[in-house]
Structures are given as C-alpha cells and as structure tokens.
Amino acid sequence: MGHEAAVKAISVYLPEGVLDNAELVRQFGTWTENKIYGKTGVSERRVVGDEKVSDLAAAAGERLFEEHGIDRGSIDFLLLCTECPDYFLPATACIVQNRLGLRKDAGALDYNLGCSGFIYGLALAKGLVLGGVARRVLLITAETITRTIHPQDKSTRTLFGDAAAATLVESSAERGIGEFVLGTDGSGAERLIIPAGAWARPSSPETRVETKNKWGNVRTLENLYMDGPEILKFSMEVAPDCMNDTLERNGTSLEALRLVVLHQASHMMLVKLRELLAIPEEKFVFNIEKYGNTVSSTIPIALYDSMRSGRLGKGDSVLVMGFGVGLSWGGTVLHMS
C-alpha cells in the first residue's frame, strides 16, 4: 500500500430537468435573458423533479463505476456531502450504500457542508486512507438545492442548480492529494442559511409565511436565504490568504500549476477573485454557464470537464479552493494521476 492518497477518477450526474434563462424570463417577466446571464454567468441550470439526493448520489456512483471500470466491491468507505439529506435520520449515505450495492463492511457517513464541501471531503478521504481505515474511498457530493428556493426568489433561482459528482480517492505510491488549508467562521452562519424547518426553529404556520423584499424577491423562513454582498465580501477577504497558504504548504507556486479551480459561486465573484488573486486567464476555470452554482459539486464538475477537454492531464497540478456557507473555506493542491 502506498503512503499517499490520490484522486483516481471523477464522474458527474446531472438531473434531466433544465431551467434556462428564457423560462425564468417567462416566469418573472421583469428581466431579460441577457440581464440574467450578465448578472450570474449562467445560461441554464439543471433542476430535479421529484428526485431525492439519494437518487442523484446513487446515479453519480453508478456512472463512476461504469465510466472508469471500477469494481464496487473494492470500495471501503462512502463519504456523502449534502445539505439536502433524504431524512433527518438515517444518514443518506446508508441508503446510497445499499442502492450502490457496496459491501456491508464498508463505512458510510454524511457530512453537511456546502461551497467548501468537496475540499473537506478530500481531507476526510485522505485521512481515512493515510490512517489505514480505508484503501478506497468513494466521495460523493450531491445537492437538490433548488428544492430549498422559493419559486418567486429570483435572486437565488437564477443562480443555483442541482447535481452530483462521484470522486474515487485511493491509496497511491505517488504524490496525489496535497496539504490542506481549512477554515471556519461560524459567526457568519446567518449570511447563508435556511432559517427554519429543523430543530432550532421547527416548521410551523409562522415559518411558512411569505415575505417580499424591496427587490420583489419572495421567500419564507423555510427557504434558502443568501446575503450575496456579504458572502462576496467574505470570499474576497479569505481567498488571498487561503491561496497563499495553500501554495506555501504545498511548496509550489502559481507558475507551477496547470489550472486553478475555485468554487463556481457566480460569474461576478469568479471575475473579481481572478483579478484579486492575479490568476492568468489561461489557468482559470469558468464552469458555471451550463450548470449554475451546484454547491459542493462545482469543483469536481469543473475538474471533470477540464480533464475531458484536455485542459488538465496526468501529472498536472491544480489548485482547488472553495468558500461559502458556514462560513467555511478550504484549499489544497491536487496532482492528477
């Protein structure tokens, strides 16, 4: 067994439903397709019908096994990152373990994290491998985030999409997943939140009352709320140190990297971050146009597309960073194998 952990394969699953800008214009009537695209960088996003997170997660796992010829019997541990579990309990990972036909002596657990979720998952998977707990870890990120959005909240409906990604992390003799920078600031928890519906504020007639803000966006306390300007400000504050510390801990530089893949929050945020971090355009990935913000899946989807298009190949190094809900952030360097 090797003394490193590496990302060996990634696959993506997108639900069939498509919500394009023309449909949003039809529904809202106040914006144009160009204005929506200009604000978000998104032309369409995938949305679930009645699929649950377990459906998306299981489909992503099946696709990974099929596309890469991976034996499901070789998986020792399943990590599922989601903010939209099927149930309060049991863990959705247990349902997905059964759906995928994984071994009964494989571990499985959920963890709830959003924009930095893939980075944290890589850290957990690497720890399981290096700790000798598992040789092969299946890391699945899956969200049905559009379900949490009020139909009349155009601030978030224009931005978010549903998706799942499955990533295989395994023991390796060669350098793979690098060193991590992780951070948390829970004082900003209320900036990106679904305020009601869980135990802190159970669902009630009061939490289902609709309110409209000055921009005409409607939501209840059981819908996703995002303070966009504050999330942007937070990301701009933590990104420089996160990038510099990640490069330093990994003994590398921007010049030595093939690509930089940030959480695909919005086109505007990505443009501002690219300028702030002085990342050359040819090394920067914009991957939001056809998917929207798929929360924990944006980074693996961008890696998958970059590999398929030839922008990222074996032996290349890529910096991955995510920041958002929590508030939470993280970064690492991946050496592609």
Taking CA atoms, 212 is separated from 190, 278, 294, in Å, by 18, 39, 25
List the one residue out of 143, 158, 160 whose CA is nearest residue 23: 158
In the three-class reduction of DSSP (H, G, I as helix; E, B as strand; rest coil), residue 123 is classed as: helix
Among the listed residues 150, 263, 267, 335, the single catalytic one is 263
Taking CA atoms, 199 is separated from 88, 114, 195, 284, in Å, by 10, 20, 10, 41
Beta-sheet pairing, 181-184 with 44-47? unpaired
Number of helices (H), then strands (E), belonging to the chain: the values are: 9, 15
List the one residue out of 161, 166, 148, 144 whose CA is nearest residue 18: 161
d(CA 155, CA 225): 9
Among the listed residues 21, 223, 250, 293, the single catalytic one is 293
Alpha helices in 133-208 (DSSP H): 154-157
List the one residue out of 166, 330, 327 whose CA is nearest residue 261: 330
Q: Residue 20 forms beta bridges with which residues?
A: 44
Among the listed residues 81, 84, 94, 115, the single catalytic one is 115
Is 115 part of the annotated catalytic residue set?
yes
Beta-sheet pairing, 225-226 with 259-262? unpaired
Residue given tokens 């944290």 in the structure block = 120
Is 94 part of the annotated catalytic residue set?
no
Is 263 part of the annotated catalytic residue set?
yes
Active site residues: 115, 263, 293
